[in-house]
Structures are given as C-alpha cells and as structure tokens.
Amino acid sequence: MTIDAERRPRALSVLTALLLATAAATVVVEVFNYLYAPSHGFGLAVRTGWALLRTLGWLLLVRQVRRNRAVARPLGLILAVTTIFAVGRLVVPRSGLPPLPGVAGFAVLVILCGAVVAMLYRHPVVREHLVRHPNRLVFTRDGVRMQEAAPRRAPVTGWLLTARITAFTYSPLMLVPCLISFGELRDRPEWLLAVLFWLATGIGVSYAVLLGTFFLLRGKAGARRYLGWLTLFVLLWDLPLCYFLLGVDGLIRDGAPLLVAGLLTWYALHRAVKLEAA
C-alpha cells in the first residue's frame, strides 16, 4: 500500500465504492427494463443507450474524486438527478403496471444517488478534500511539466460550476427525443423539416452553452442573463416539439428531464448571485 493510499480518508474510499455501485446499478436496472419491456422499438433503444452512457459519467466522477477535484461535487449532483430521470422514464411502460424487478432496481438506484449527493455536499471530510484544481501545463526552472495551477481569476463558486455542468446537458437531452422522432417520421413525414431544425438546434445549443459558460466562469454578469435566457429558449423550443411529435408520453419521458435541468440551472445562478451579494 502506498503512502497516498494510507493517508486517503476512509470517507473518500466509501464514496468511491458508492459511485462504482451506482454505475453498476444503472446498468443492471437498464437491462431489467429492456428485458421486461413489452416491445423493443427504436425509441426504447435510444433512451436505453443514452441511460447506459451515463455509466461512463459515473466512472469519470470516480476519477475526479480520486484526484480530489472540486468539479466532482456539481458533476455528481447532475449525474444523480439526470440518472434518476433517465432510468425512471423507462421503468413505467406505456400501459399496465411496471415490472417488479425494474421497480426494485430503480428504488435501489434512487437510494444510491441520494447517498452520493449527501456525501458530496454534506460530509465534512469529502467537502474538505474535493478542492483541487485541474493540472495544467506550466513553465518552471526545471522545464515544462504538468502540475496543479490555481486559476488567476477570482475563485468560482460551486453553484456557478453546477450551472455550467447542468447547462451542458441541454444538448444531449434535446438530441435524444429528436433522434426518437426520426423513427416516427414514417407515419408523419410532414414533420421532417421540423425534426431537422430540432437536430440543428440541439447541436447549436452545445456551442451556445460553451460560449456562455466561458464568460460565466470569468465573472461576467451578462453571462448569467445570457444563460438564463438561453435556458428559457431551450425549454420553449424543446418541450412543444416533444409534445407534438412524441405525445404526452414523450413530453413526460423526454421533456421532464430537460425541465429539471433548466430549473436547476436557474436555481444555481440565483444561489450564486445571493452568495456573492452576501
């Protein structure tokens, strides 16, 4: 055992194990949902694939925790919230009662996600250690090397990081129902142009968020208003399309996660302003 491993707090080891268990539970619940689904259509395949991709997010979070990165806390919050919605929308079938294994697995996943958020935001040892900045290329007397470098600008609050990471989920949350809508065009070809615009908007939003969060982390007040209005545009654009192309079922399954992400972004921006004003 290395010196670093011996000095590593037990709470971080428990958190790492909890994150790995959550990643594994996500895969297991998705497998149950797929096996017990009454039909395996294109929409189910897209939603299942997107939910399974979140496993990579949990593994990335494990890496950030092991490196004591400050970004681990907002990343964990976003993963927990969006995972619950991404998996939960697949547990309930279009008709009838959900299968018992899927419900039981989803309940376990909710408990795991809640425990992750509680440890990230409430455990004093975890909060004390998740403070490091990313490594950057720096020039020293010994040459060029990678080492931790604190940003030159004023420290960014955790709520601004939360808003930034949440906003980055807009694009994939828009593209998932958009891709599902392509499978519905055989019966409704007149919506082809709308779906193509939906696809282009989903891709464009990722660049718009990148631009806004670039200035947001540099303390520009206008960036907060920009991100707030961008969130409103995303919701007003995506939710009606979910309803008209995928029906009430699609609005609940695909629109609700985006709505939660938007509300969390607004809340994070509001909390960041209050903290700075205090």
Q: Are 107 and 25 in contact (CB under 8 A)?
A: no
Task: Count CB-CB contacts under 10 A for residue 46.
Answer: 20
Angle between helices 158-167 and 72-91 (to 10 degrees): 40
Q: Are 255 and 239 in contact (CB under 8 A)?
A: yes
Domain boundaries, the chain: 1-135+144-150, 156-278
pLDDT of 31 = 79
pLDDT of 19 = 93
Map 209-273 to HEC letters.
HHHHHHHHCCCCHHHHHHHHHHHHHHHHHHHHHHHHHHHHHHHHHHHHHHHHHHHHHHHHHHHHH
pLDDT of 111 = 93
Mind listing the pLDDT tens digit for each residue in 166-186? 898 899 889 888 988 887 777
Stretches where the chain sits below pLDDT 70 are 1-7, 37-41, 89-90, 92-97, 133-157, 275-278
* Beta-carbon contacts of residue 274 (< 8 Å; ≥ 6 apart): none
DSSP state of 191: G
Mind listing the pLDDT tens digit for each residue in 28-41? 888 777 777 666 66
pLDDT of 216 = 84
Measure the CA–CA gap between 89 and 81, rounded to whole angstroms. 13
Determine the longest span between alpha carbons in the chain, in angstroms.
Answer: 69
